[in-house]
Structure formats: structure tokens, C-alpha cells
Amino acid sequence: RGNMIVAELAKLLHKDASEVIKKLISLGVMATINQELDIETIQLVASEFKVEEVEIKIPVEEDDFETVEEKDNEEDLQSRAPVVTIMGHVDHGKTTLLDAIRSTNVTSGEAGGITQHIGAYQVEINNKKITFLDTPGHEAFTMMRARGAEVTDITIIVVAADDGVMPQTVEAISHAKAAKVPIIVAVNKIDKPDANPDTIKQELTKYELVPEEWGGDTIFVNVSAKQRTNLEELLEMILLVAEVNDYKANPNKRARGTVLEAELDKGKGPIARVLVQHGTLKIGDAFVAGNTFGRIRAMINDKGRRLKEADPSTPVEITGLTEVPKAGDPFMVFEDERKARAISERRSIKQRQSQMGANSRVTLDDLYKHI
Ligand code: GDP
Ligand code: MG
């Protein structure tokens, strides 16, 4: 953390350096114009001048989040697992479906193993992985989109065959369309005697979701989450959509991703569940998550297993944060902790500046953080 010299402080306070030096001398500090000052002294001088706020513009640095996204060469890209969200009306079976898929897919080696709630999980079918986000559908999706995070590749819209298209079904469709992600319709509860899957298909044509057999291009799968009927078919359809869209990422660079959930854990301190979207995340990596920073102390996957590395589309729970970030925050690795800290501080100040408008004033506290 570099200190500020007298000349710089004078400039920030809109005073002559000589005035600052005089003030310092009156406070018993013998100073020259190039003298480095510690934070306590800066604070003292500022309060002597009765300055509580200073106007300060933090330059947008090239290494800030928005500008570092380097283009990948085509040959560096590798296939990655599709990231899938399940949405639909309340009680149509989203949670049951997520749980059913998850438990169907527990391989023998993992049977009985502790499955962790980490905001997302991965399943494997035909040697191919699929990542499911299990953060509460609508909220998470809406919040992330509002914060500019695009994490989903494919949306599954669950519609109960005995209930039909409901308000949150329509909402889910419009979210998926706005995000331009392909939709797969899972018509659920087909085990129920009053289930009528064809009526659902009919209703959904109003929303331009037309099944292939009726000349459209929307994939429909009839399932029973409760009885685990056709789950394999649903997973195969996801893989089919993934194959067509050929989702790729470069695993050989510093990781970037999105915070899915975060909280303060009594034992572990701040923890975050993140989805790695680019690059590979490693133990010891220094990172910024939103306005906070840290260094990866430990990573665990959805099976509770400790990981040393996490490649694109892998959801992991991380520890080693200094504060709790927010769901939807961008996550990014930097070359060292010093850099990560500087970036996170700059982001905090920038955020406050933008919240306060263009000609914002930043408190001295922010200033101290920055030097
Ligand atoms: P969510 O609100 O969309 O997450 O819905 P839930 O997964 O909590 O399911 C709501 C209710 O529907 C629960 O009582 C489930 O047991 C039931 N349910 C879910 N899927 C099925 C299904 O395929 N068949 C039947 N009969 N009931 C189901
Ligand atoms: Mg639920």
C-alpha cells in the first residue's frame, strides 16, 4: 500500500503545498513537499482543514473487468458443458425435477457421498457433462440478468400437465427469450390421471413454442419428475441442443466467472459459490469478486470433493474471500493479491461514484482505501 506525498495531498485538498506543510509543522510533523505521509497524518491534516470529502476521479484502468476480456483464438477453445436453468410456475415440479436428475446421476463411486448445495451441480451422461443451476430459478435468473451476468446456455421450462400454462410460465418464457437462450419444454406430472400433455403443447403455441411434430423447432419432453420417467430423454435433448450450439471456452487462461450465491459461514468465513466460465480456477489464485477480493484457499465441488482446479462450466464453492460478494457479481483472477485488492477497491469507488452521479464526491475513507 503506497503512501501519499505532501504535494499529492495538497492537490486533493485544493491547497498549496506550503499551506499543508505549515499545517504539518503546527501539528509537530516536519515535512517537505516530497514527504510521504501515513494515513493517520493525512486524516489529521484533512480534518484540520475541515475537509470531510474531496473530489477525486479514479481513472479507469486498462486492467479493469470490462476491458480485459481478451479475444480467444479459435484453436484455444475447447468444448465445455452446457449450463442449464430450470424455470416454471410454482409447484410445477422444478425442485423435484432438479433433485431427480441429480440423484439419478449419482455414479456408484459417489453413492452415499455427501452432496453439497453449491448453487449448481453437474451430471454426466454418455460421458458428457451438464451443469444445472439450482439457485431458486426466477429470482436468481432475474437478478443475474439485471446485473448483466449471462450464465445460462439453455432453459428448461417446466409445465405441469395437470395445470397448464400459468403466469410464471409466461414470465419464464419471456426471460429465456430476452436472454436469447434455447428453450426445452419439460411437460411434467404425466403420471397424474388428469394429465394432458397435448393441451400444454397447444397452449404453448401462443408463445411461439411449437413442437417439431407440428412444424416448429421447440423440443418438448414429457416427464414425471416424481416417478423419474423420461429423465434420460430430457438429458439427451439437452446434450443435443448443446451439440448444435457447440458451447466452448478457453481453459488455458486465468479464470473468469460469476458468483451464483455467497454468504458468511460461521466456520469458514465468507464463502461464495461460483461458476467458472472461462479459464481454469486454481488453488492460490488471487481474484476479485464484485467489489471484494481474495485468494482461493479451498474449492469444493457439488460432491463435496476438494478440487485443485476447476475448468469452464464447473461450479465450485470457494473460501478465501475477505468479504461476502453478491449473487451475479463477476468473478475474475488477477496476477497477484496486490493487484486484486487494488482492482476491488477501485471498483468500490467507481460503484459509489456511479451511484452518486458523475460529479460525485468521495469520502476520505474511500481515499485512504485507495492509497
Ligand atoms: P416447484 O415449486 O416448481 O419447485 O415444485 P416442487 O418440485 O416443489 O413440486 C410441487 C409438488 O408437485 C410436490 O408435492 C411434488 O411432489 C409434486 N410433483 C412434482 N413433480 C411431480 C410429478 O412428476 N408427478 C406428480 N404426481 N407430482 C409431482
Ligand atoms: Mg421449488
Ligand 1 centre from 92 Cα, in Å? Answer: 6
Residue nearest to atom 11 of ligand 1 (CA): 91
Top mutation candidate among 96, 156, 224 for ligand 1, by most atoms within 8 Å of CB: 96
Q: For the chain, how are helix, strand and coil distributed in percent, rounded to 5? A: 35, 30, 40
Q: Which atom of ligand 1 is nearest to the CA of 90?
A: 2
pTM above 0.95, yes or no: no
Q: Which atom of ligand 1 is nearest to the CA of 224?
A: 23
Q: Which atom of ligand 1 is nearest to the CA of 188?
A: 23
pLDDT digits (tens, 9 = 90+) for 214-262: 999 999 999 999 999 999 999 999 999 999 999 999 999 999 999 998 9
Confidence band of 327 (pLDDT split at 50, 70, 90): confident
| Distance between CA atoms of residues 95 and 90, nearest Å | 10
Q: Is 278 annotated as a binding residue?
A: no
Ligand 2 ion: nearby residues, β-carbon < 5 Å: 94-95
Q: Examine the predicted complex and report whether its ipTM is higher than 0.85.
A: yes
Q: For residue 6, list its beta bridge partners.
A: none
Q: What is the predicted pLDDT for the residue at 189?
A: 98
Q: Is 91 annotated as a binding residue?
A: yes
